[in-house]
């Protein structure tokens, strides 16, 4: 048991150290969100105007709970950073294979499932930190940071990261070359994050698109982040409960999802993916 | 004889129609240096992969330190150390971190780690570079670190798959000093593969491998004795005619190899003057040397290791054409 825990820890530590020593990756994790926020945020917020029309919510003072597009995509950008770091962390199994380190791990007298778990936790931790980095640019988005918000974001980021890193490890275990990484990015990662509601309100969507958004597990990782951020901006509870009406919240079977619903879905998906990752990782030669 | 530390019985590995390892059987004694000599693609690495539990045999069985490589993977893994053909260090970590990583995977306690890590670093003379990132190491240093890592958990058998590949001759000689010294100090069994015949000479016993089979297995001296005496190589103006002529006149078996004729005689120094006197054809060049393991390989398979290697390269080039070349970091 002690050996198992130590193994998970050392594999986790390796991935965290490799990340810390890879400065270009850290800088990239900071600049991409800035570009996104500055270009898309500013480019689109003027055209879109306030996303919540307070007069629509009766019995509320005009102006209360106004959200502009920059504030709207801010949690989306956090999710994006977490998401890409997670996929990369999981897929890094392929790089480990390419550069030979994987062999050293595969002949060690340890269970491969444990290795996969360590790898997932390492990738998820790095992804959570990369998501946290986005908080540094909150002022650019006009989002005010509160301690409560940050403390609530962390576990949500980590759960999403755990699920997506597990998916990455599962994919990586089946890949034989690093070229496949690009394909995964284009055919799985980008569509998943773009169709998760991270970047546009889920209002008046074509039916097929709404369907994809709702079957996309990433959507349920984005939704709670947005809810926490909006709540911390002083949005009145009356509006928070009706976010789905403005396209700012997810609705399933006619009911707006709470944070706990989202957590349940993300954790279920995460466990499923992690079991799959352990299985696929154990079965490789 | 004591109980063998490695026992291999009819070990076979097939990939579809291709048989990479074909009913191979042999035993290795504790403390022995045992070498697999053969060209790339002969099945050496596949055999090692099965012995170290990375691949399941299609047929046959193998026992390592008394443990079955299929049914008792954990026990086998704890009793072996491996230096792979391709580098397997994390070069974004320091030498020390690489060793710590390995030590934890192999379940060494903190006390054992503190004792053993400086020991192995000292052994490969990398103690002063312990905290340097591996990416700053030369090829030879990386190899040494890998050997240190392979020894860290005090295995009973150390597997070295082409340990000196890609190293310059001087570093290669150094590596051998380590490996030979290692056996003295640690009393460990060493199982290695190589396609350099000079290296196989260091081994106690050599198995010559070709096309997935063991063509011969003995001490290097005994193998070379098979060749019989000295190797004479001549080039003449009319190879076809002269080959038959030499066989008839001097009673030797002539092997034609590229633009040379080779044969073996006892007492080569005495034979040459007589040959020059009595040979009716025109001699262009003539040379004499003691047999090498390559001669043994040639005698057994009809080609040299280098040739076999070139065949294999053609094959690889052919395979590469249909694939994108992998980018290197």
| Chain B residues inside the 8 Å CB shell of A108 | 77, 102, 105-106
Residues 6+ apart with CB under 8 A from B240: none
Whole-number pLDDT of residue B326: 43
Domain that holds residue A262: 27-32+66-282
Answer yes or no: is A133 within a domain. yes
Q: Does A100 touch chain B (CB under 8 A)?
A: yes
CB of A98 less than 8 A from some CB of B: yes
Instruction: Give the closest of A99, A105, A106 to B329, CB-based.
Output: A99
pLDDT of residue A221: 95
Q: Is A248 exposed, middle or buried (0-12, 13-18, 19+ CB in 10 A)?
A: buried
Whether the CB-CB separation of B203 and B192 falls below 8 Å is answered with yes
* Mean pLDDT for chain A overall: 90
Answer whether residue A12 is part of any domain: no
- Inside any domain, residue A17: no
Tell me which chain B residues have a C-beta less than 8 angstroms from the C-beta of A3: 107
Whether A116 is in a domain gets the answer: yes
Confidence band of B322 (pLDDT split at 50, 70, 90): very low
Contact A100 B86 (CB under 8 A): yes
List Cα–Cα distances, B181 to A171, B175, B186, in angstroms: 45, 10, 8
Find the CB nearest A105 among B52, B74, B105: B105
**Interface contact B93-A10, CB threshold 8 A:** no
Asked whether the predicted pLDDT for residue A140 surpasses 50, the reply is: yes
Mean pLDDT value of segment A134-150: 93
Sign for the CA dihedral angle at A108, A113, A118, A119 comes to: positive
Contacts of B74 in chain A (CB under 8 A): 109
Q: Is the CB of residue B88 less than 8 Å from the CB of residue B146? A: yes
Q: Does A45 map to a domain?
A: no
* pLDDT for the residue numbered A58: 53
Choose among B141, B143, B152, B157: nearest CA to B100: B152
Residue-wise pLDDT for B167-197, tens only, equals 778 777 877 887 888 788 878 999 999 888 8
- Residues from chain A that touch B82, judged by Cβ atoms under 8 A, are 107
Kindly state whether residue A99 falls inside one of the protein's structural domains: yes
The 10s digit of each residue's pLDDT in A26-38 is 999 999 899 999 9
How many domains are contained in chain A? 1
Residue A193, phi then psi, degrees to nearest 5: -75, -35
Yes or no, beta carbons of B91 and A99 under 8 Å apart: yes
Asked if the structure places residue A44 within a domain, the reply is: no
Residue A111 located in a structural domain:
yes
Contact status, residue B262 vs residue B231, Cβ threshold 8 Å: yes
pLDDT of residue A172: 92
**pLDDT score, position A112:** 92
User: How confident is the model over B111-136, as pLDDT tens digits?
Assistant: 999 999 999 998 888 999 999 999 99
Nearest-by-Cβ selection for A104 from B73, B102, B324: B102
Q: Does A216 touch chain B (CB under 8 A)?
A: no
Cβ contacts of A269-276, under 8 Å, gap ≥ 24: A269/A163, A269/A217, A269/A220, A270/A159, A270/A162, A270/A163, A270/A166, A273/A163, A273/A166, A273/A167, A273/A170, A274/A116, A274/A117, A274/A120, A274/A162, A274/A163, A274/A166, A276/A166, A276/A170
| Residue of chain A nearest B72, judged by CA positions | A109
């Amino acid at each position: 048991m002690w050996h198992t825990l130590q193994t998970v820890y050392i594999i986790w530590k390796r991935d965290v150290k490799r990340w810390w020593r890879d400065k270009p990756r850290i800088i990239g994790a900071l600049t991409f969100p800035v570009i996104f926020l500055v270009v898309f945020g500013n480019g689109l917020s003027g055209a879109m105007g306030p996303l919540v029309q307070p007069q629509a919510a009766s019995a509320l003072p005009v102006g209360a709970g106004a959200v502009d597009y920059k504030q709207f995509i801010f949690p989306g950008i956090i999710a994006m950073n977490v998401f890409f770091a997670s996929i990369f962390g999981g897929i890094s199994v392929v790089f480990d294979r390419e550069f030979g380190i994987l062999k050293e791990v595969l002949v060690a007298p340890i269970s491969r499932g444990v290795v996969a778990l360590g790898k997932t936790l390492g990738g998820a931790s790095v992804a959570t930190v990369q998501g946290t980095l986005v908080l540094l640019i909150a002022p650019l988005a006009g989002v005010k940071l509160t301690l409560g918000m940050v403390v609530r974001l962390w576990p949500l980021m980590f759960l999403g990261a755990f699920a997506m890193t597990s998916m990455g490890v599962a994919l990586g275990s089946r890949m034989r070359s690093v070229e496949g990484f690009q394909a995964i990015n284009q055919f799985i990662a980008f569509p998943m994050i773009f169709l998760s509601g991270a970047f546009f309100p889920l209002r008046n969507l074509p039916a097929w698109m709404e369907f994809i958004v709702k079957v996309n597990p990433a959507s349920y990782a984005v939704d709670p982040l947005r809810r926490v951020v909006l709540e911390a901006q002083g949005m009145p509870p009356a509006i928070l409960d009706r976010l789905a009406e403005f396209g700012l919240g997810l609705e399933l079977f006619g009911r707006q999802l709470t944070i706990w619903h989202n957590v349940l879905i993300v954790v279920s998906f995460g466990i499923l993916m992690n079991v799959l990752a352990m299985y696929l990782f154990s079965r490789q030669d | 004889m004591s109980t063998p530390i490695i026992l291999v019985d009819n070990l076979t590995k097939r990939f579809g129609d291709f048989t990479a390892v074909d009913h191979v059987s042999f035993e290795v004694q504790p403390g022995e240096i045992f070498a697999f000599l053969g060209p790339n693609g002969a099945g050496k690495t596949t055999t090692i992969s099965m012995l170290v539990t990375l691949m399941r045999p299609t047929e046959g069985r193998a026992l390592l330190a008394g443990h079955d490589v299929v049914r008792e993977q954990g026990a086998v893994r704890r009793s072996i150390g491996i230096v792979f053909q391709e580098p397997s260090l994390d070069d974004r970590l320091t030498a020390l971190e690489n060793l710590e990583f390995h030590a934890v995977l192999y379940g060494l306690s903190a006390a054992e780690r503190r004792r053993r890590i400086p020991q192995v670093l000292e052994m490969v003379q990398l103690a002063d570079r312990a905290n340097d990132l591996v990416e700053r190491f030369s090829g030879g240093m990386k190899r040494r670190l890998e050997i240190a890592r392979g020894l860290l958990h005090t295995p009973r058998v150390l597997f070295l798959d082409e340990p000196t590949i890609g190293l310059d001759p001087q570093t290669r000689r150094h590596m051998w000093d380590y490996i030979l010294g290692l056996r003295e100090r640690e009393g460990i069994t060493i199982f290695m593969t190589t396609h350099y015949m000079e290296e196989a000479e260091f081994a106690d016993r050599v198995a010559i491998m070709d096309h997935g089979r063991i063509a011969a297995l003995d001490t290097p001296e005994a193998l070379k004795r098979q060749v019989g005496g000295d190797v004479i190589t001549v080039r003449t103006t009319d190879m076809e005619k002269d080959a038959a002529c030499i066989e008839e006149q001097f009673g030797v078996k002539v092997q034609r190899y590229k633009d040379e004729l080779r044969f073996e005689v006892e007492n080569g120094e005495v034979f040459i003057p007589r040959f020059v006197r009595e040979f009716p054809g025109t001699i262009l060049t003539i040379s004499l040397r003691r047999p090498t393991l390559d001669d043994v390989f040639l005698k057994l398979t009809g080609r040299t290791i280098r040739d076999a290697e070139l065949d294999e390269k053609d094959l690889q080039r052919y395979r590469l054409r249909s694939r994108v070349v992998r980018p290197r970091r």
